Structure 1
């Protein structure tokens, strides 16, 4: 089942990557499908004779978790395929399969190796509870406990699942006005100002202020049932600031904002036409300063610049916030770099790995251990040497491959990329584990690479691959290790599931990517693409590499147009300090509950996508985490996460069906006939179409 679903999810993820409507293969979808398949296999495979080894007992929770972890490790379009796609489409560089597949393996597994060495700090403690996976754990508990004891929960799950499954037909297809219902848009459908502020039912339409969203697909981008209350409050402050800043920047014409679309992520000429980066590229895949002088420097939409600033503010604030409030935890995280730890790891390494005694590294008496982990101590641990060897082998492969794939990234650039990833794994994953809200380091590492490797956009892409992707893979590994901890899946089984799923998925990613680029080359290069295939994500990744890798000095250095983007990182380091000082001298104000990194991150949260869901997200979140948790705690404990799981599961299964049936994943798009509730010729909320 794990191999089958890994093949399915990895192929589907790569296909989705090249679609006009970008979708992901969700954890909840894989959980429900694997549960259905597993119970069906137990029902129909005979339990006697030669078949008994295939079906020795009922499908259980640990088996389901093993399949979920393996399939989820494969269920992403590996970032290396994005790099390879850009090389093929824009640079006429076509690395062989013999070089490409090791590139995929090394870039996917480096994060696993480094992240695994930090699991004693980022997985074992109770404060690292990963709220985003709690609905999944609640669902698995309900499915596999004694049916008589959980009958009510099962009824609630399948009732909510069925209702949302049918309901999603309406906002997703029949009645898309429900994606973003705005009374202001209906009252003033021809006002550009109303569209920018209140519109939000379509991508890059507007800020969606006071719009109500009835589509759980968009509301649950971060499941509001799982985000802790203090994180919600911080996010709400950031959201309000985002609206104020975006409006002020646009109407103040900062960075010539009114020349360009209100929300956009691509590069423009000053006259608002799309910037053609191919006209500034010289030999050896480098930007030619003379050609840049002829074409002029590109512009961003000003709201996108605010997003870049907010991302850097949040990342820097994360470092300071955790150093102030969690310094003891962070100090413990680096014990694996001590000489004693290296000696212990060296002593563990032996070709007869089954001789390892399974000791858990002296964590048994730690008072901060998750009680779930305390029950895991009976299983032999996956030793640090396994994770260390995974990282070392991946690093050796990476050193070879960056030269075989014409990356233009020198070996020392790879070392710096990995050092940055290692540091940020500790900070960013810790924040994610405590709040459920992920932060991206992509902008920051692109900035660093731009200054280290000036004029080399391809080197920038590889630097991002081995820094941002390494951190992201570590976050996925640590999240899945927490799933294993909650369901008591033995650590060695979890390690095997993750490595097998990752390697298998990366191979499938490469096969699908090669086939799609070979057959849809011209379509992927076009701006609009087709109604079936699109190169929008490849184009955006390449544009970012051009801006940061080729023009970082001209666009972002001190005195240049966007110099506040890198300077914001320095500012962000000081943002948490006032809150810490206030708490130190006036603790009753409880400023220790403020997550400054989330406030900063949400200042840029509306820079792209469908924004009408924000208000509904906060309404549901506060109803769950404040009203329900404080007024009806018993109901919250029993049903909050099982309802969240049912909503996610029903929505994602229906979305999967619709993506193939009507949204073009199977080759043809079948939109619902246009009517007042499905304005196919414009924005669904009837706000003015500005672009």
Structure 2
């Protein structure tokens, strides 16, 4: 066995962006850098893993070093014509598609796996078609399409493929307030709101990216797929066959539940047995939006089981907490509705709109926002006295209550269980640190020229980070500059655009974003769960600027969107770290992708709102366009921004939504102390923040998939990982990527070919398998 060591290229051979500038053709005989127990000799000979290599199937290190191998070839060139052409092209595609689908009745997200599959097909196609010889080959096709080109393209496209929250605000102002920022101001507003989160997250890399505890499970299937595609065929022939078969199988299968037989979305034995009970619909139904809780339903549609968040990659601790939370949700929802808490029976079982004081179960009048908001965009108290305060459905109140509890519980949970990682980010708040940073004597060139790197031998850090130290790091001042420019541009936009949000309110929103990104970025990294904390941000904004819904929208834009964008940046930084892409390359791809995405988000939003205004304002919409997401964003800004005191303060109708925040601080403590006293009980596997978040999880959408989600998740992360660990590390994440990839591709194709995204929809002939006049699972239709 050869000695195992980490090697790096001489620094003079590494370009300013971290890659070797003069390497165009990869030496296929080069031995990759390897810091695992497999030596370079083993890799060169193409030896596969022995059956007894995984000794501790529950150990996270096995996932980090065997599912994604700790090997790197620093000479791989990622800056090629293919990278820029496909990266920019897919970024434009992502920016256009994400904004189009924001205004659709059905939402198709541009998933990372879908982008990865598309980039691979196009990249290999260009490498095959473009000549390899002469000056054309030298500049356009210098070597085979490699993994680092592929990863750079994915990161650029990813950065553009999530619709900016800013287009929600711009659309609401135009549709409901007859206000319109000019094009330049609108684009700069999008830039500042997107980049603000990037600047904050970039300064938190030592907390959110480098530690091995920050797993970012959503990335593992993508990285595992990339590794399988580019390792020697002698090692990956069987995994590639598995990937191909699964991809093709799910590609063909999804046509059946999505179009031919939608009853497979939710098969409920209870609904089939009793099709005339509203109670059965509420509890056992779930194949349609806002139908019911889906208890004991089985779903055979991977699009709904996964939804972009595959059960195959969630850690078992996360699945346990989610499962307990969902069980409590079933009990609590049933209790508050059938106990008629908050006049629950006057309103639908599941709903997200605001209802009038005069609403009844037979006449569900919506609250008249236009009447209550005055010409100055503030709440008209006289009109409010006439219209009355709005009402929520009781289950939606539980969703708000659970979300607020989970935020305070999440803060305590992360400080108790991940203090080592959190303390790195919190040191900046220490008085001694503040005084040192304010002292000009400490503003030396060394600090500004490069990032202070962590000790590569520190056990706390991801083993893949050690390989990243072979490349030039991104200096802290790059992210500080992004943050400073974002704050400056944001303040100009706020005052020039008459946002009604004062400078001090904006700074509070930035502090809120910093605190929530630290806690819930880390929570997402460890559990794989994306927490929707927008209600809490809106609640904070409502209390500091009462009666001002427009200011609340801007507060939410910077206080919540920055958390979303910061988490996306951290997620992609971890994706690059697992794939060993140079940090400066990653930074470049993210910044360019975000700029492209924001520009095309605005262009498409402007065209759609201008040409489809009446449809977007209507409740029903059409099968092509819908304003449902804009309407919801507007409704929440009115409820939390305009009426926070009246609805949520102590003594008001929904006071427990605020009191629950205090209760949440106490929830993690019993589990923590029980684990300290009785470690064998496994209380360390209970994440109270996740548990509380899932208490209100079933308040919206299609819920028939929840049982299938947990069956598949526990089958993978508990049974397969525990009893067949070698199969788990070789195929679990690869199969997850194949399932998500095949589903994304066919759903995207069907959206344009069948579902009306490009014109008229094509319905499958009506029969018992696609009940067009009611719920797909044949439960009683109660709306």
Alignment TM class, shorter chain as reference: over 0.9
2:388 and 2:119 mapped to 1: Cα distance?
Answer: 54
1:419 and 1:394 mapped to 2: Cα distance?
Answer: 14
Cα distance, 1:587 vs structure 2: 2.3
TM-score by length of 2: 0.86
Cα distance, 1:341 vs structure 2: 6.3
Query: 1:207 aligned to 2:293?
Result: yes
2:654 counterpart residue number: 562
2:101 and 2:291 mapped to 1: Cα distance?
Answer: 22
Residue from 629, 654, 663 that aligns with 2:746: 654
Q: Is the 8 A contact 2:222 2:737 kept in 1?
A: yes
2:588 and 2:421 mapped to 1: Cα distance?
Answer: 28
CA RMSD in angstroms, aligned pairs only: 1.3
Q: Is the 8 A contact 1:335 1:341 kept in 2?
A: no
Q: Deviations over 1:452-501 (max 9, x none)?
A: 11110011111010011001100000000001001110000000000000
SS at match of 2:697: coil
Cα distance, 1:333 vs structure 2: 1.6
1:557 and 1:345 mapped to 2: Cα distance?
Answer: 46
SS at match of 1:603: helix
- Consecutive unaligned residues of structure 1, counting only runs of 5 or more, are 351-355
Residue from 34, 49, 64 that aligns with 2:119: 34
Q: Deviations over 1:633-660 (max 9, x none)?
A: 1111111111111000000101101111
Q: Is the 8 A contact 1:177 1:677 kept in 2?
A: yes
1:181 counterpart residue number: 267
Query: 1:106 aligned to 2:204?
Result: no
Q: Is the 8 A contact 2:248 2:742 kept in 1?
A: yes
Give 1:90-129 correspondences, 5 Å limit.
90-129=176-215
SS at match of 1:219: helix
Q: Which has the larger radius of gyration?
A: 2
1:23 counterpart residue number: 108
Q: Is the 8 A contact 1:118 1:336 kept in 2?
A: no
Q: Deviations over 1:325-380 (max 9, x none)?
A: 12222111234563556777763587xxxxx4x55534334221111110110100
2:780 counterpart residue number: 688
Q: Is the 8 A contact 2:513 2:559 kept in 1?
A: yes
Residue from 278, 284, 289 that aligns with 1:192: 278
1:406 counterpart residue number: 498
Q: Is the 8 A contact 2:294 2:704 kept in 1?
A: yes
Q: Is the 8 A contact 1:204 1:264 kept in 2?
A: yes
1:432 and 1:5 mapped to 2: Cα distance?
Answer: 26
Q: Is the 8 A contact 1:114 1:474 kept in 2?
A: yes
Q: Deviations over 1:572-620 (max 9, x none)?
A: 0110011112122222222122111111011011000000000000000
TM-score by length of 1: 0.97
- Consecutive unaligned residues of structure 2, counting only runs of 5 or more, are 1-85
Q: Is the 8 A contact 1:346 1:385 kept in 2?
A: no
Residue from 359, 374, 390 that aligns with 1:298: 390
Q: Is the 8 A contact 2:451 2:476 kept in 1?
A: no
Cα distance, 1:31 vs structure 2: 0.5
Cα distance, 1:231 vs structure 2: 1.1
Query: 1:540 aligned to 2:632?
Result: yes
Query: Looking at both structures, which has the greater relative contact order when contacts are Cα pairs under 8 Å and sequence separation is at least 6?
Result: 1
1:608 and 1:553 mapped to 2: Cα distance?
Answer: 26
2:237 counterpart residue number: 151
Residue from 699, 706, 709 that aligns with 1:607: 699
1:193 and 1:234 mapped to 2: Cα distance?
Answer: 27
Q: Is the 8 A contact 1:126 1:371 kept in 2?
A: yes
2:469 counterpart residue number: 377
Cα distance, 1:283 vs structure 2: 2.4
Query: 1:265 aligned to 2:357?
Result: no
SS at match of 1:438: coil
Give 1:174-573 correspondences, 5 Å limit.
174-221=260-307, 222-270=309-357, 271=359, 272-335=364-427, 338-339=433-434, 347=445, 356=449, 360-573=452-665
Residue from 64, 85, 109 that aligns with 2:150: 64
Q: Is the 8 A contact 1:345 1:385 kept in 2?
A: no
2:543 and 2:697 mapped to 1: Cα distance?
Answer: 26
2:552 and 2:687 mapped to 1: Cα distance?
Answer: 31
Q: Is the 8 A contact 1:135 1:644 kept in 2?
A: yes
SS at match of 1:105: helix
SS at match of 1:620: helix
Q: Deviations over 1:269-317 (max 9, x none)?
A: 1312111201101121111011011111111111000000010111111
The 1:235–1:346 alpha-carbon spacing in structure 2 relative to 1, beyond 3 Å, is farther
Structure 1 residue ranges (4+ consecutive) displaced by more than 4 angstroms after TM superposition:
339-346
Cα distance, 1:552 vs structure 2: 1.1
